[in-house]
Structure 1
Amino acid sequence: MRRSLSLQARVAIASALSATIVIGAIAVAFAVFLRVNGSQQLDRTLDSVILATPLDMPANTIPTVPSLATAPADPFPPVETSTATRVASVAGEAVRARDVRIIGTPGALVSVAVPENPLIDAIRRQQVWVAAAAVAAIAAAAGLGWLFAGRAVRPLQRLAAGMHTVGDTPGTHRPNARGAREAEDLSDAMGQMLDRIAASQKRTEDALGSARDFAAVSAHELRTPLTSMRTDLEVLSTMRLSRPEREEILRDLLATQRQVETTLTDLERLAAGELSDPADHEQVDLAELVDRCVQESARTHPGLDIAVSAPEGLVVRGIPTGLRLVLDNAVINAVRHGRAGRVLVTVATDPRDGSVTIAVDDDGTGIPESERVSVFERFVRGTGSGAAGSGLGLAVVAQQAGLHGGSATLTDSPLGGIRLTLRLPQPAAVRVG
């Protein structure tokens, strides 16, 4: 691939072109000035010669003036005025001439001329000197442009040389290009880019580490129910069982299958949370989100008395699917493990800092105070959860609270059961409508 011109060469060329334009304009103006000034000097010489000539004598007695051009009789056509100057050629030589009336001889004129060749030769010599000086000035401008540009681009060259080794080994020193504002700006921009890349790599490494741990723990948790299912299937296929025994094994298989399905579903939700990004946050109408969850929970659990208390038009910034997961898991845990018959979802804002709290109260059996912190860990089941739980429901709640920069806690509920509180720091929470 053809390489482009360096910045140093471009600056040198630009300096030479700029000098050529400026010096050329000055040279043209100077040549015009020389021509006009020379013509004015010749006209003044003509005036001096005319004043020195005795034009009040008869025409045949006029003395010969050495500086006047000699010519045949009547070499110039007569003019009506004695002050007009014209350019003509006498014996092949260019002259500036003027016709002057002779005093005492009506209608008689004498032509006074001054040669122009000396002036033209002098102008040409000066133009040659000006051209030589212009060429020297253009060359000097190009050389100085090359020299100064070399000093100016040196920080960029150091930055480019240093960037070749960045990333080869951990902790590589970043190049510090100082000496030119543009180089410093570029160095700072590249440093910020490298910081973003490093942060992205760290997030990727953390995600991979979490994925490895997640896969190991998931395999461990799924191994027990799958082993139980395999044992039941082997018993069904190899032993002669009575009808009640077969039905009991089938019930155990179905229960274990539901447990595996629930665990896989919760694992999927946790994985989705691990892969979430700050770009997933958007403006969410919290009252509308809570109302949809309550309506769907009422259909899913027909015997559940569920209500909501939330201000209208409360908009927060968050992940809609994540906030919905928190609400769904809170209601499911209250019904499935707490055997609650009544649930109340309350949304409120703190006027001091604008934070938002979502509280889910139930009248169920509750959770012992000693377990209210540990149940937020993965695959940890509370005392009253039973074997059907995956141990991931509250882990999903804790994960979503962390993704939103908030916290999740369990406390006693005024309804007699447990209260799950999700606190979201939302300084930008606004009311609409």
Structure 2
Amino acid sequence: MKMPLPRSLRSQITASVALLVVFVVGFAGLVIVDRIDHRDRADVDRQLVARASKVREDADKIVSQGDGADDSGRDDYGGLLAGSQSLVRLVSGDKVIAQRGDEPTIGIPIPTSDGLSTIESGGQSWRSLVQRIDDTSSERMQVLQDLSPIDQRRIDNTRIVAAVAVVSTVVAAGGVWLITRFILQPLQRLRRGAQRVRSADTFQELPTVSRPQEVADLSASLNRMLAQLQTSMNATRRFTADAGHELRTPLTTIGMYLETLQRNPHLATDHRQEALNAMVIEHQRITTLLEGLQILARGDAGALPPRSKVDLPALAGEAIRHAQHRHPATVYSMSAGSGSFPRVEGWPAGLRIAVDNLLNNAALHGRHPHGHVHLALEWDSSFVYISVTDDGPGIPADQREAVKERFARGARPRSKGSGLGLALVQQQAELHGGTLMLGDAPVGGLRAMLTVQLHPLPTTSRRRSAPTQT
């Protein structure tokens, strides 16, 4: 059965550190215990070899003494080995002819082979070394050492390691539990800030966190995401409000004409045609208005395609040709300076919308009939300047900023436009790092200058203001 993980990050970190500590401390401790045990057993083997050398030198005396002391009452081996849990035996064939040391409680079997070995007998472990006394003799000596103290030492050391691992784990878990409380405070701040976010709020921002770096990056990313969502939501709200406000009049007009036609099925043909023509005009006005609002909403929300290199002279020339068809009574001209014109890095569709609206406004608000509209292209090391001049009455200086607003038509509008033309141009200017400036034309009309950056600034940089030209 799969064990469930703790739900909180704090618990997961604490549990992970606890598992890591118990593994590292336990593994390191067991390695140390194993090395100590290996060293102890190697020491036993060295002692057995040294003792075997002594036994080989005095083998005759041990045999002559048998299992007791010599005539003088002295027992070199019995007294030396007593209490050391060691045993020395001389073996001939399958019989023990002499032995010295601590007598085992259970008999130890006769060795069948020479060399070092470990003997298990009666629940006790003995380390045994068997060697022949000399090359010509059939007698063998066996030196044994009880391994119980070494086994017990290994058990005791293992218990110490287990206790240290448990204590280390508890201390580490407690420390991590307290430390993570402070480390995770920035995340708690972000969580509380996120809980306060409401869709109805006009300004939403999570708390700014400076450290740790990962949480600071998360805070910055979330705030950027919130800013984008707020921009998109505000654009949607503005689009809805503007559309509702501006569509009310043409829809009301169309409704009145439809009601008139419905109530008067035998209306005269010329009056019926007049009503239909009026509804067609209002329908076109609605379509134009919706297209402009959609463009503004996409720009406000930042829903823009990737930038590309734009040939402005070619774009402006194509816009003039289309404007000439729309306004045949207006004369259009264009100049693009001398030399090779640089390409602008921007959105071709957006720049075309801006130029089209400047040309349309100049034709609609310029001199009628046979007005003249001139488009000029200039550039320097940073900006491209698109200026459109007409020979109409112009716009008073105190109204020039106001007419850039959405649905603004000036004090004395000369056409039934939507009031979005200059607002669209202003938006494209801002999206391309420039401005829209309105001034006096040399021939007395209006001069509208759109500035566009040649190379866009990084998104993290502050937008550079376009220079002012007169």
Do both proteins adopt the same fold according to a TM-score greater than 0.5, normalized to the shorter chain?
yes
The equivalent residue for 2:193 is: 166
> 1:385: Cα distance to partner?
5.3
1:124 aligns with 2:148: no
Native 8 Å contact 2:204 2:227 kept in 1? no
Contact 1:166 1:172 in 2 (8 A): no
Give secondary structure in 1 for the equivalent of 2:89: coil
> Residue 266 in 1 paired to residue 284 in 2?
no
Asked if 1:347 is matched to 2:380, the reply is no
Is the 8 Å Cα contact of residues 284 and 315 (structure 1) preserved in structure 2?
yes
Match of residue 84 from structure 2:
none
- TM-score, normalised on structure 1? 0.73
Q: State the distance in 2 between where 1:250 and 1:229 align.
A: 11
Is contact 2:17-2:173 (8 Å) kept? yes
| 1:98 aligned partner | 131
Contact 2:247 2:286 in 1 (8 A): no
Match of 2:23 among 17, 22, 25: 17
Change (3 A) 1:89 1:322: closer
1:133 alignment counterpart: 160
- Aligned with 1:321 (options 339, 349, 369): 349
Q: Does the alignment pair 1:113 with 2:142?
A: yes
Letter in 1 for 2:320: V
- How far does residue 176 in structure 1 lie from its aligned partner after superposition? 9.0
For 2:256 and 2:295, how far apart are their aligned partners in 1?
Answer: 28
Deviation, 1:185, is: 3.6
CA contact (8 A) 1:412 1:418 kept: yes
* In 2, Cα distance between equivalents of 1:101 and 1:234: 137
Q: 2:91 corresponds to which residue?
A: 71
Structure 2: which amino acid aligns with 1:98?
A: Q
Distance 1:426 1:279, change over 3 A: farther
Larger RCO: 1 or 2 (CA < 8 Å, sep 6+): 1
C-alpha distance in 1 between matches for 2:118 and 2:235: 97
> Per-residue displacement from partner, 1:381-433 (whole Å, max 9, x unpaired)?
4588534434332333233334444322233334664322112345549xxxx
Count the aligned residue pairs. Answer: 402
Question: 1:50 offset after TM fit, Å?
Answer: 3.6
Identity of aligned residues (%): 20
Provide the rounded CA distance (Å) in 2 between the counterparts of 1:317 and 1:254: 43
Return the offset for 1:9: 1.7
CA apart distance, 1:17: 1.6
Deviation of the 1:21 alpha carbon? 1.9
Q: Say whether the 8 Å CA contact 1:379–1:392 is kept in structure 2.
A: yes
Query: Which residue does 1:423 correspond to in 2?
Result: 451
Deviation at 1:47?
2.3
Q: Give the match for residue 81 of structure 1.
A: none
Within 1, Cα distance between the matches of 2:58 and 2:378? Answer: 114
Whole-Å separation in 2 of the counterparts to 1:194 and 1:233? 56
Gaps of 5+ in 1: 77-83
Contact 1:367 1:383 in 2 (8 A): no
Q: Shift in Å at residue 150 of structure 1?
A: 1.2
Q: Which residue of 1 aligns with 2:239?
A: 211
**In structure 2, distance between residues paired with 1:42 and 1:28:** 21
Q: Does 1:32 align with 2:38?
A: yes
Deviates more, 1:249-258 or 1:25-34: 249-258
The answer for unaligned runs of 5 or more in structure 2 is 7-11, 79-87, 97-112, 198-202, 458-470
Cα 1:388–1:130 shift into 2, 3 Å: closer
| 2:53 equivalent among 30, 47, 50 | 47
Any idea what SS the aligned residue of 2:333 has? Answer: strand
Q: CA RMSD in A?
A: 4.5
Name the SS for the 2:15 alignment partner.
Answer: helix
Query: Does the Cα contact within 8 Å between 1:158 and 1:177 map onto a contact in 2?
Result: no
SS of the residue corresponding to residue 392 of structure 2 reads coil
Conserved 8 A contact 1:225-1:260 = no
Q: Secondary structure at the match of 2:419?
A: coil
Could you tell me which amino acid in structure 1 is paired with residue 293 of structure 2? L
The structural deviation recorded for 1:15 is 1.3
Match for residue 179 of structure 2? Answer: 152
Is 2:304 aligned against 1:280? yes
Q: Specify whether residues 341 and 89 from structure 1 end up closer, same or farther in structure 2 by C-alpha distance, changes over 3 A only.
A: closer
Instruction: Identify which range, 366-375 or 221-230, moves more after superposition.
Output: 221-230
CA contact 2:365–2:415 (8 Å) conserved in 1: no
Alignment of 1:307 with 2:334, yes or no, is: yes
